[in-house]
Amino acid sequence: MSSFYFANGEYLWILAVILPLIFLLNYLSYRRKKFVVSSLLLWKRLVERIQTRRSSSRRFFSLPLLLLLLACTFFTFSLSEPFVRKISRGKLRLLIIRSAATAALTPEGSSVLKNILEQAESLIGDSDATIHTIPPSEGEGHFLNADAKRFLKSLAPSHIPRPSVLPSSGYDILFSDRPEKTRIACAILPAGSIENCAITSVGTKIRNNSLEAVIHILWTGSKETYAELKIEANDKTVFSKKLLLKKDVNIEKIRVEANSSLYKVTVDCDKDGFQLDNVAYITRIPKAQRKIVYLGEEEEAVLRALEAAETDVLRYKEEPKETPIFALYNGIVPKKIEGNGTVLLLSPKEGISGWFSLRPLGRKSLQAFVSDFFVDANGLSGTVAERVYEIIPDESVERTVYATDDSGAPVICSLRKGTARMVVIGFDVAKSNWKERASFPVFFALILRSMFGEEEFLVLRVGETITLPCKKSEPFAQSPSGKKIFLKPYGGAVSFVPDEVGIWRLTTGEKSEDVLIGVGLLSESESRIDPSWQRSIPKILPKQEEIPTPLWEIFLLLGLFLMVIFFLSTSASHKPTP
């Protein structure tokens, strides 16, 4: 469907003036005039010779006149900016959640993601589409109809849990397996009435050459059920126990000999509808050399916290040419961020393009959002800070909130973009009483441990940065599925972000020094698959897209062409007849 219109239609009034004026001038040019001549004989013979009819001696309409009228009309049309507007079905903008939980099987035996993709394909119909996924997929973007359907068929569930914050605009519909906090219309295709058993947390401690672990097991069923907890090391089962799981979180404490570098913890349940979160790994991580580049204002409390965490501080007045893998910026922002390291950003005065922006909040009270980094949930109780900023991440950045103000605005966040990570403290540490509290050095110690790693037994999550000492110039990591990821070392260490659940092999030195690292899902929010979620498909009205095509250049060229013909015809008519 198409239509014709003028962007500046008011200029068409020019035609109402210029066309009658041309007709009037043409009429006046053909009006009979009286002449005094000495003899009529010459005129009589001339008339007899050309045998001109009386009616043709007063031509008020001629070809030159027609050319002139059309040329003026086309010039006026060109001035009025004509357009042809084609109205077609617009592109749909789809956002698809393909996080770990979408791999769950429905009671019918189909995966949740498969149901989501079938619904998305039927919604697209015969239109083009823009498709993005969370976590991002290779090749996502704008598609023609056939390409969009091929892209949907190629998608598979990721092992990474969904982020805590989703986009609130920019898409027509969001496909998920559960209700989401977003303003985008949400199509919910849940797993249905399945029950899930998952390992959501494992805490470890070494005591008297024994490994002690506290394991949190989630059961979403409404009734109690039996399960088996097993721990394997060196291809042998070193611990096994029958469990009676109650609804919600169950806690089990175990103790085994600390004689292996990798322990696999599994919980088996016959009624489990989602298998990916049934496993966790306890890995002995070699210790990396702790060095951090410090730039900006020197804050004594921060330096003491770094010293307490056994970290060497390298003070620089200016940002080094080679981007450090670990750096702390106090009161300033880095000029560039690249690589796969971590940046600690304290008291920023401005945002960073492509990462985050800041919204001033003034003086605020703080509260812990993730209690694990602040001793406990009350680790920030009574903490007040001046010049507090809300941290607003870019849509392409994954965010983990550590602390908020009393209104819930995030003020301490971990931001991740690709393999680069940034921890932002959005207030002036020097003008807060947080530095006087026990949670201050604890927070820095835990953040630094997540940056550098420790020579201890750690439980690693998918999507979490892992740092290891590196002696090899070209280290690489091999995923559980066999994919190789080549890594870039910085300062004797290497970092990477695993995106698959299972055992990874890292080649960071000689062959005998290959490191095996186990990675689990360990996300309680992702594993909480609620049987009460209802299927919901919102109605999306067909979008119409207007495609205007300008025509003023065509009318301008036509007008010029007709004017050339007009001048040629008038000049030919004035040539003397032989």
Predicted confidence (pLDDT) per residue in 448-470, tens digit: 877 765 557 888 899 888 877 77
DSSP SS3 for 554? helix
Q: Is residue 62 part of a domain?
A: yes
Report d(CA 125, CA 122) in Å as an integer.
5
Report d(CA 368, CA 187) in Å as an integer.
32
Other beta carbons less than 10 A from residue 177's beta carbon: 26
Considering the domain architecture, whether residues 269 and 406 belong to the same structural domain is answered as no
Considering the domain architecture, whether residues 305 and 411 belong to the same structural domain is answered as yes
Considering the domain architecture, whether residues 95 and 141 belong to the same structural domain is answered as yes
- Point out the domain boundary residue: 159, 175, 192: 192
**How far, CA to CA in Å, does 450 sit from each of 235, 288, 290, 497?**
28, 11, 12, 12
- Point out the domain boundary residue: 162, 192, 222: 192
Residue from 459, 495, 488 nearest 472 by CA: 488
Q: Are 440 and 305 in contact (CB under 8 A)?
A: yes
Q: Is residue 525 part of a domain?
A: yes
Q: Is 533 left (phi over 0), alpha (psi -120 to 50) or beta?
A: beta
Considering the domain architecture, whether residues 29 and 129 belong to the same structural domain is answered as no
Residue from 173, 13, 293 nearest 536 by CA: 173
Residue from 284, 168, 189 nearest 516 by CA: 284
Q: Is residue 544 part of a domain?
A: no
Query: What pLDDT was estimated at residue 55?
Result: 45
Q: Is residue 306 part of a domain?
A: yes
Considering the domain architecture, whether residues 270 and 295 belong to the same structural domain is answered as no
Considering the domain architecture, whether residues 101 and 145 belong to the same structural domain is answered as yes
pLDDT by residue (tens digit) across 155-214?
A: 999 999 988 888 888 898 999 999 998 889 999 999 888 889 999 999 888 887 888 999
Q: Is residue 446 part of a domain?
A: no
Residue from 61, 29, 72, 27 nearest 563 by CA: 72
Q: Are 563 and 71 in contact (CB under 8 A)?
A: yes
Considering the domain architecture, whether residues 258 and 272 belong to the same structural domain is answered as yes
**Can you give the CATH number for the domain in which 366 is found?**
3.40.50
Q: Are 542 and 124 in contact (CB under 8 A)?
A: no
Q: Are 547 and 85 in contact (CB under 8 A)?
A: yes
**Can you give the CATH number for the domain in which 246 is found?**
2.60.40.150
Considering the domain architecture, whether residues 518 and 403 belong to the same structural domain is answered as no
Specify the pairing of strand 312-316 against strand 291-296.
Answer: parallel
Q: Is residue 24 part of a domain?
A: yes
pTM, two decimal places: 0.60
Considering the domain architecture, whether residues 305 and 426 belong to the same structural domain is answered as yes
Report d(CA 426, CA 412) in Å as an integer.
6
Residue for token digits 């089990």? 252
Angle at 324 between CA 319 and CA 327, to 5 degrees: 75
Q: Is residue 443 part of a domain?
A: no
Considering the domain architecture, whether residues 203 and 324 belong to the same structural domain is answered as no
Domain count across the chain? 4
Report d(CA 507, CA 517) in Å as an integer.
11
Angle at 486 between CA 338 and CA 457, to 5 degrees: 90
Considering the domain architecture, whether residues 31 and 128 belong to the same structural domain is answered as no
Considering the domain architecture, whether residues 220 and 273 belong to the same structural domain is answered as yes
- Point out the domain boundary residue: 171, 192, 213: 192
Q: Are 166 and 180 in contact (CB under 8 A)?
A: yes
Domain that holds residue 141: 91-192
Report d(CA 371, CA 350) in Å as an integer.
27
Both tokens of residue 45? 């013979």
Q: Is residue 537 part of a domain?
A: no
Which residue stretches of the chain have pLDDT < 70?
A: 1-2, 30-35, 37-43, 45-61, 87-90, 286-289, 322-325, 338-341, 371-372, 375, 452-455, 471-472, 490-492, 509-513, 541-546, 572-578
